[in-house]
């Protein structure tokens, strides 16, 4: 994430940690260049609240953790009926998304094992955002492996937007597009899904490979952006058309041959 504005380049403070197999960063504007120990301590406290929530959710939902509820369900040691209320709530939310996307998004692996990885990171970012609001923070950017949620502006008190860069799946050192979030943009969340970072890990309809190598969705909330990005990768052009007609989103989809499909917000 980089901030953009017609004003001078803002001074920012950032804190990072690792969770859910990726790097999570919290960035806030430094008030009038304040980089004092007190400002750093306030940021560290906020980042600590975010990190604890990420770790709690990862411990419950990760299929890579042998002791998690998700892994116990996969091994048949626990039934969905016997799972925690939080797990059942997220499963119900994912099942609702399956209906809304006509099966392009699914809460199970092909073998029937519950797999909520397509929802949980977005939910964790959403929960972290709520925690930051409860702490009284008005201006911040939360980035979890390229899935971004922002509030306010990188220049506190202004209408400047944060700028989200979308990486080229063919060359991870290059940005192919940017999109303004927060400030006066009307959108606060961006999520990217596809095979460029983690290989083919999304279940596609039928037995064929996905039509898209990478899909980026911009929305008002991070769960919608995250779920729809996954659904479009899984469902191809048909789901892309459904997403752009059924939700207030902007989409940049990169085909496996390098061609691009983009809504007006990305073409502006």
CATH number belonging to the domain at 2-267, selected among 1.10.730.10, 3.10.520.10, 3.20.20.70, 3.40.120.10: 3.10.520.10
What is the pTM assigned to this prediction?
0.89
Tens-digit pLDDT profile for residues 17-68: 999 999 999 999 987 556 678 888 999 999 999 999 999 999 999 999 999 9
As a whole-number percent, the residues of the chain with pLDDT over 90 amount to 79
- Grouping H, G, I as helix, E, B as strand and the rest as coil, residue 254 is strand
Residue 201: pLDDT band (50, 70, 90) is: very low
Is residue 217 within 8 A of residue 242, CB to CB? The reply is no
Alpha-carbon distance of 142 to 129, in angstroms, equals: 8
Confidence of residue 178 (pLDDT cuts 50, 70, 90): very high
Mean pLDDT along residues 81-98: 97
* DSSP state letters, 140-192: EEEEETTEEEEES-SSTTS-PEEEEEEEETTEEEEEEEEEEESTTSS--EEEE
The C-alpha atoms of residue 253 and residue 259 are separated, in whole angstroms, by: 8
Which of residues 125 and 10 earns the better pLDDT score? 125
Question: What gap in Å lies between CA 159 and CA 63, rounded to an integer?
Answer: 41
DSSP secondary structure letter of residue 31: G
Q: Which of 121-130, 165-174, 191-200, 228-237 has the lowest average pLDDT? A: 191-200
Angle between helices 117-134 and 222-246 (to 10 degrees): 120
In this prediction, residue 221 carries a pLDDT of: 96
12 pLDDT band (50/70/90 cuts)? very high
Q: What is the pLDDT of residue 157?
A: 83
pLDDT score of 37? 82
pLDDT per residue as tens digits for the range 64-79: 999 999 999 999 999 9
Task: Write the pLDDT tens digit of every residue in 179-193.
Answer: 999 987 789 999 999
The angle formed by the CA atoms of residues 178, 181 and 186, to the nearest 5 degrees, is 125
DSSP code, position 209? P
Return the bridge partners of 23, or none. Answer: 18
Has residue 170 got a pLDDT over 70? yes
Q: 196: pLDDT confidence band, cut at 50, 70 and 90? A: low
More confident of the two residues 183 and 2: 183
- Give how far the C-alpha of residue 85 lies from the chain's centroid of Cα atoms, to the nearest Å: 23
Q: Give the pLDDT score at 191.
A: 97
b/e code 74-113 from CB counts within 10 Å (16+ = b):
beeebeeeebeeebeebbeebeebbebbeebbbbeeeeee
**Each residue's pLDDT tens digit, 214-268:** 999 999 999 999 999 999 999 999 999 999 999 999 999 999 999 999 999 997 5
Q: How far is Cα 120 from Cα 184, in angstroms, rounded to an integer?
A: 28
Positive or negative, the CA dihedral 117, 151, 191, 220 is positive
What pLDDT does residue 9 have? 58
| pLDDT: which is higher, 214 or 11 | 214
Domain range summary for the chain, segments of one domain joined by +: 2-267
Q: What is the C-alpha radius of gyration for the chain, rounded to an integer number of angstroms?
A: 19
d(CA 40, CA 31): 11
Rounded Cα distance between 16 and 119, Å, is 22
């Amino acid at each position: 994430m980089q901030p953009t504005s017609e004003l001078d380049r803002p001074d920012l403070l950032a804190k990072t940690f690792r969770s859910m197999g990726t790097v999570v960063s919290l960035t806030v504007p430094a008030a009038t260049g304040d980089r004092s120990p007190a400002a750093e301590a306030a940021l560290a406290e906020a980042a600590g609240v975010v990190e604890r929530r990420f770790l709690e959710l990862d411990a419950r939902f990760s299929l890579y953790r042998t002791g998690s509820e998700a892994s116990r369900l996969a091994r048949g040691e626990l039934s969905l009926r016997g799972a925690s209320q939080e797990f059942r709530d997220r499963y119900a939310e994912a099942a609702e998304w399956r209906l809304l996307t006509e099966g392009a998004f699914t809460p199970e692996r092909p073998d029937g094992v519950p797999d909520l990885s397509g929802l949980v990171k977005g939910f964790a970012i959403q929960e972290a955002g709520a925690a930051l609001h409860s702490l009284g923070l008005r201006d911040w950017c939360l980035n979890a492996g390229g899935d971004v949620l922002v509030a306010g502006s990188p220049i506190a008190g202004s209408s400047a937007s944060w700028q989200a860069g979308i990486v080229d799946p063919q060359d991870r050192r290059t940005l192919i597009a940017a999109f303004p979030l927060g400030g006066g943009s009307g959108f606060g969340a961006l999520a990217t899904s596809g095979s460029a970072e983690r290989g083919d890990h999304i279940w596609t309809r039928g037995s064929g490979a996905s039509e898209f190598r990478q899909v980026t969705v911009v929305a008002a909330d991070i769960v919608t952006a995250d779920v729809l990005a996954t659904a479009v990768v899984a469902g191809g052009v048909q789901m892309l058309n459904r997403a752009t007609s059924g939700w207030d989103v902007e989409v940049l989809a990169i085909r496996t041959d390098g061609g691009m499909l983009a809504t007006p917000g990305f073409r502006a």
